[in-house]
Amino acid sequence: MYYHGKELKIFSGNSNKPLADEVAEILGTKVGDTKVTKFSDGEISVNTEETVRGYDTFVIQATNNPVNDNLMELLIMIDAYKRASVGRVTAVIPYYGYARQDRKLKSRDPISAKLVANLITKSGADRVLTVDLHASQVQGYFNIPVDNLRGEPIIGKYFVDKGFKDRDDVVLVAPDAASVPRVRKLATRLDAPIAIIDRKKDKLTGEEIVTIIGEVKGKCALLMDDIIDTGTRMARGSEILIVKGAKEVYGACSHPVLSGDAVEKIKNSEIKEVVMLNTINLPEEKRLEKFTILSIAPLMAEAVRRIYENDPVSKLFE
């Protein structure tokens, strides 16, 4: 039996403090007093100034860039709370780094997503709450409960409110075949058809061969991906769609990783607007006028509340 006390405990590492503050505010509490700094040699230092003994505790920490620092912060925080006799600790990971390394593509490849799952479990986490895992099978890498929240309903509501469901010229576009299940869910919400961009290289010439499966000519195309990392797929995809006759292109993603010159690529692309979630805290210099950032905090706060009160989280997936 877990002692809930007068209030649940929420703590945050350094990766996404604004999201943690928003979740805590919705739940009527504050982020706990933990200072996560570095020693002179770069090692992570965690210092918690309040008790966690017997409490149901949630640690909010995304594992985006700097990936390894953020991951170590999460692991050390969990370890610290377990050693302080926490009742239960849930790792709340808005963005799960290493999830794309979920299988062996060639000999001697690691399966890093499984390794990270092992590290989180061994550090002492009792369960994991995350958002839009790149590959759903990553849930199976854990031997503890994993709740994988979906960001698509939030993005879908935005476009419904924008009038996309009432238009007959909208098409949802998957950047590749693997993205179809995710795109189909959003297409169902918008009562829109889907199209797929199939890109491959000619083995002899090395030239790119592009095929569009579905109709995009004269359409308003909504290109959806779970992650925007280098920005190449989103920028190149929008260019392809315009060449193939789309009259305008919108983009959407759950996780705006935006590595390297991704922001510049999207800024100079044909995309009219990119809708994204705040699973990763974007610095001001990466926030373009064409970026619309939606908050995952209300959904995450409700999931935290349900876990805390031992209510079903499955309702949030309906």
Task: Assign 3-class secondary structure to 23-51.
Answer: HHHHCCCCECCEEEEECCCCCEEEEECCC
Q: How confident is the model at residue 103 (pLDDT cuts 50, 70, 90)?
A: confident
Q: What is the 3-state secondary structure (H, E, C) of 67-134?
A: HHHHHHHHHHHHHHHHHCCECEEEEEECCCCCCCCCCCCCCCCCCHHHHHHHHHHHHCCCEEEEECCC
Q: What is the pLDDT confidence band of residue 15, given thresholds at 50, 70 and 90?
A: very high
List the single range of 183-187, 196-200, 220-224, 235-239 with lowest mean pLDDT: 196-200
The sign of the torsion formed by the CA atoms of 211, 213, 216, 220 equals negative
Whether residue 4 is predicted with pLDDT greater than 60 in this model: the reply is no
Mean pLDDT in residue range 87-93? 96
- β-partners of residue 250 are 222, 273
pLDDT for the residue 316 = 87
Region of 163 on the Ramachandran plot (φ > 0 left; ψ -120 to 50 alpha; else beta): left
Residues 87, 85: Cα–Cα separation, whole Å? 6
The reported pLDDT for the residue numbered 152 is 95
**Torsion angle in degrees (nearest 10) through CA of 258, 117, 147, 31:** -70
The domains located in the chain, with CATH, are: 9-150+297-317 (3.40.50.2020), 152-294 (3.40.50.2020)
pLDDT band at 112 (very low <50, low <70, confident <90, very high): very high
Is position 101 annotated in a ligand binding site?
yes
Is 147 assigned a ligand-binding role in the annotation?
no
Q: Is the pLDDT confidence value at 5 over 90?
A: no
Q: What is the mean pLDDT of residues 97-125?
A: 93
- For the cut 60, the answer to whether the pLDDT of residue 117 exceeds it is yes
Average pLDDT over residues 253-273: 97
Q: Is the pLDDT of residue 180 over 90?
A: yes
225 is in an annotated binding site: yes
Q: Please provide the average confidence, as pLDDT, over all residues in the chain.
A: 94
61 is in an annotated binding site: no
Q: What is the structure's pLDDT at 256? A: 98
Residue 203, pLDDT above cutoff 50: yes
What's the confidence (pLDDT) of residue 201? 79
Check whether 260 is labelled as a binding-site residue. Answer: no
Residue 1 in this model has a pLDDT that exceeds 50: no
pLDDT digits (tens, 9 = 90+) for 24-67: 999 999 999 999 999 999 999 999 999 999 999 999 999 999 99
For the record, the structure tokens of 233 come out as 């797929």
The model's confidence at residue 317, banded by pLDDT at 50, 70 and 90, is: confident
